[in-house]
Structure 1
Amino acid sequence: MPNNELVVSDTSPLLNLALIDQFALLKSQFLSITVPNQVWEELTDGERGLDALRGLRTDGFLTVVEVERSDLFVEIFHELDLGETAAICHAIQQDADLILIDEKDGREVARRHDLTVTGVVGILLREANAGNIELRQELDSLREAGFWISDELYSRILSEADE
């Protein structure tokens, strides 16, 4: 059941859910998602999932915001790419409840700034634990779409979901 949290997302979780045609999972978990303009530009740079992304924005589920290049932005940008930097900075500035980010370095920086983090795998795991999806199938779809999941992590995720 969605709640009224401020959720900020980087590119990867949204793009990967688009690639496996699972945007509906976002609406089952969140009332809305905010992305910096830098993330929106990364998302709309490709073809896949573009119509669904635009639909999420048109219906008000996905909000795009401007993020200024503050001192914090410059500091984080030395470690991460533009989208991750903008998402983390916005999450910090707005005291977000959750940030969606997949890349290891981005997750470490977000945690260093006391942000609560999850990613595409966490979203899938929540849905599997609620009985809404077959986790193994969705993880396999992610892998087929090019999302890298180590065999060790794959096994651990499945055991967490008791599959």
Structure 2
Amino acid sequence: MIIVSDTSPISNLATVGQLDLLKKIYGELIIPETVYQEIINAGATEPATLAVNSLEWIKKGSVNNLTLVMSLQTKLDPGEAEAIVLALELKADLLIVDERKGRKEATKLGIPITGTLGVLLKAKQLGFISSIKPILDDLVNSGFWVSSDIYQQVLALVGEGE
């Protein structure tokens, strides 16, 4: 299975100590060079920076279609644009991306997507975590934005709603 990721799912899950869920679910991730740079530029002691510099299951990939990257960058940030193009070029089974615009562009191009919340739902479904709510609360407390409706929907999907 080929899985490509954008910056935010890696950063968000690393921040709350749940990055290993990506390895447990998908085995290996491929990130484009720009995503790697975005992560390491966050600071040497950031959890995601430490992870991409030490974990062998997070691999770097190179994009070839720079014209498409530049076209996508008119609407998206550079990491998202490269992640989408890399997913296309590798015929990835899945792109992990959180930002709405990036998800929309990937879907238009026929790339299957999920995001941080989808990863948590899959982890719960596979039995890697017993509860989503504490992790979701940690994410929100660390700056991850999710609407209250989506928050409640996610919890209701796994029987953790109020």
Matched, 1:81 2:77: yes
> In the alignment, what sits opposite 1:64?
60
1:149 aligns with 2:146: yes
Q: Alignment identity in percent?
A: 33
SS at match of 2:59: strand
Question: Secondary structure of 1:12's match?
Answer: helix
Q: CA deviation at 1:75?
A: 1.5
- Number of aligned pairs? 156
Task: Report Cα offsets for 1:101-131 as digits up to 9, x if no partner.
Answer: 0000000000000000001111111112233
- CA offsets, 1:26-54, max 9 Å, x none? 11101210000000000111131122222
SS in 1 for 2:70: helix
Q: CA deviation at 1:143?
A: 0.1
SS of 2:76's partner is: coil
Which one of 4, 13, 20 corresponds to residue 8 of structure 1?
A: 4
Q: Secondary structure at the match of 2:156?
A: helix
Compute the TM-score of the two structures, normalised by the length of structure 2: 0.92
Choose the corresponding residue for 1:29, options 13, 21, 25.
Answer: 25
Larger deviation: 26-35 or 105-114?
26-35
Runs of 4 or more above 4 Å deviation: none
Superposed CA deviations along residues 136-155 of structure 1, whole A, max 9, x for unmatched, are 00100000110001100000
Coordinate RMSD, CA, aligned: 1.2
Cα distance in structure 1, aligned partners of 2:37 and 2:71: 21
